[in-house]
Structure 1
C-alpha cells in the first residue's frame, strides 16, 4: 500500500469530517478534541458537522527515561489507564506516582488555560465524538473514552485520521464506534503520515476554541 500523507492537521480534519458526514447537523453531537494536536483536526470536524467544539484534556504517562513511550494515561475525574509496558519493564509504584502527580498538575493547568471560565459542555444523552490527530498506542484516547463514559453520553465515537491496528482494536473495547481514515500496515508513527506535523501551540488551541469562523 502506498503511503498516504495529510498536508497538515487541518487537511486531516477535513478528510476525517467526510468520514463522519452522517453526523452532520445532528443536534445531539458534540466534538471533543484531545489537545494539543487534536484541536486543529477537531475544529475542521466541528465546522463540517455544524457541532459545538470543546477540549477533553488527557495526559500520557511517559515511561521514566523514555517519556514518548506511554505506560498509561490519565483523564478528568481521576481516570487512570495503564498499558502492558510496566509489566514488561517493571516500574516502581513510587516512580509511577511521581509521573502521575506531574501529569495531573499539567492536566489541571491546560484545562484552565484552554477553557478559561467556560464550563465544559454537558455530555449526558449526547453523541460525543472524540478527536485526535492519530493513535499509536491508543492509551490517551482510552483514558479519554473512559472519562467521557462516566458523563453518560448516548454514544461515544472515536475519530482519527490515522491509527495503528492495535489502537483501533483497543478503542473498539471502550467506544461505540471507531472511525479512522487510514489504518496503515506497518504503522510506525503518527507523524510519518503528515507532511507538516509541527507542534500545535497553546495560542493556536485557544484561538480555535474561541473561533466562530
Structure 2
C-alpha cells in the first residue's frame, strides 16, 4: 500500500505542493476539495499551505447497474460532462441516462445545501486554486471540476491528487496549469487499492473540516 490513510496522503501531497506548485501570496490561495473523499486529503493540504479549505461538489454519474463505475459528472447547474470513450465501451447513450443524471443532480443539491449552509460559492477569480481529490481512475470528476473553475478565471489552477492513472494525469494537463500526482500507475483500477485504510468519509467529517479550516463557517 502506498498510503496509510487519506491524512497521510494529504501531508505527502502538501509537501510536494510546498516545493513550488503554489506561488504568490498564500493568503490568496484556496484549497477546494472534491467531497467526500477528497476532504481529509484537502484538509491536510490547507493546513500546510495555511490556506482556507472549501469544497467543490461534483456528482459522479455511474453506469446503470454499476454505480461505482463513473461515466460522467455534474457540477452545479451545468450540463453533464460524459466520458465518450467510456460511453462507447459500455454501449451507452448519454441521452438515455436521464434518470441517473436527475438522481445525481438531486444528491448534488443536497450536499451543497448541507455543506454550504447558505454560504456563497468561494471567490476564485484571480486566486491560486488547488483542487484536491483522494485519487482518480477515469478523471471525469476532476475534468468537470477544472472546466467549471476555469470559466471563473482563477489566477492559477492546480490539480493535486495522491494517485492518478498515468494516462489520465497526462490528459488532465490540458485542463489545469499544473497537475501534481504523487503516484502514476499505468492503470488505477480503484482508488482504494492505494490506501491501507479507506473508510467512507461521512458528511459530518466534511462539516467538521470546513468548520476548522474555512474562516467564515
What TM bracket, shorter-length normalisation? Answer: over 0.9
Distance 1:101 1:67 in 2: 14
Q: Could you tell me whether the CA contact under 8 Å between 1:137 and 1:166 is conserved in 2?
A: no
2:59 equivalent in structure 1:
59
1:125 equivalent in structure 2:
126
Greater Cα shift, 73-82 or 60-69: 73-82
Unaligned runs of 5+ in 2: none
Distance 2:157 2:37 in 1: 20
- 2:20 maps to 1:19: no
1:209 equivalent in structure 2:
210
* TM superposition score normalised by structure 1: 0.93
Q: Could you tell me whether the CA contact under 8 Å between 1:156 and 1:176 is conserved in 2?
A: yes
The CA deviation string for residues 105-125 of structure 1, in whole angstroms up to 9 with x for no partner, is 111100111111222210011
Distance 1:78 1:177 in 2: 24
Cα displacement (A) at 1:152 = 1.2
1:46 equivalent in structure 2:
46
Cα displacement (A) at 1:77 = 4.0
Cα displacement (A) at 1:74 = 1.0
Distance 1:207 1:10 in 2: 14
Q: Could you tell me whether the CA contact under 8 Å between 1:135 and 1:162 is conserved in 2?
A: yes
Q: Could you tell me whether the CA contact under 8 Å between 2:72 and 2:140 is conserved in 1?
A: yes
- 2:197 maps to 1:185: no
Distance 1:55 1:212 in 2: 11
Cα displacement (A) at 1:188 = 2.9
Distance 2:177 2:213 in 1: 29
2:197 is paired with a residue of what secondary structure?
coil
2:7 equivalent in structure 1:
10
2:161 equivalent in structure 1:
160
Q: Could you tell me whether the CA contact under 8 Å between 1:32 and 1:56 is conserved in 2?
A: yes
Unaligned runs of 5+ in 1: none
Q: Could you tell me whether the CA contact under 8 Å between 2:72 and 2:82 is conserved in 1?
A: yes
Distance 2:131 2:43 in 1: 12
- Misfit runs of 4+, over 6 Å: none
Distance 1:93 1:6 in 2: 36
Q: Could you tell me whether the CA contact under 8 Å between 1:77 and 1:147 is conserved in 2?
A: no
2:27 is paired with a residue of what secondary structure?
coil
After superposition, the CA RMSD in angstroms is 1.7
2:80 is paired with a residue of what secondary structure?
strand
- 2:93 maps to 1:95: no
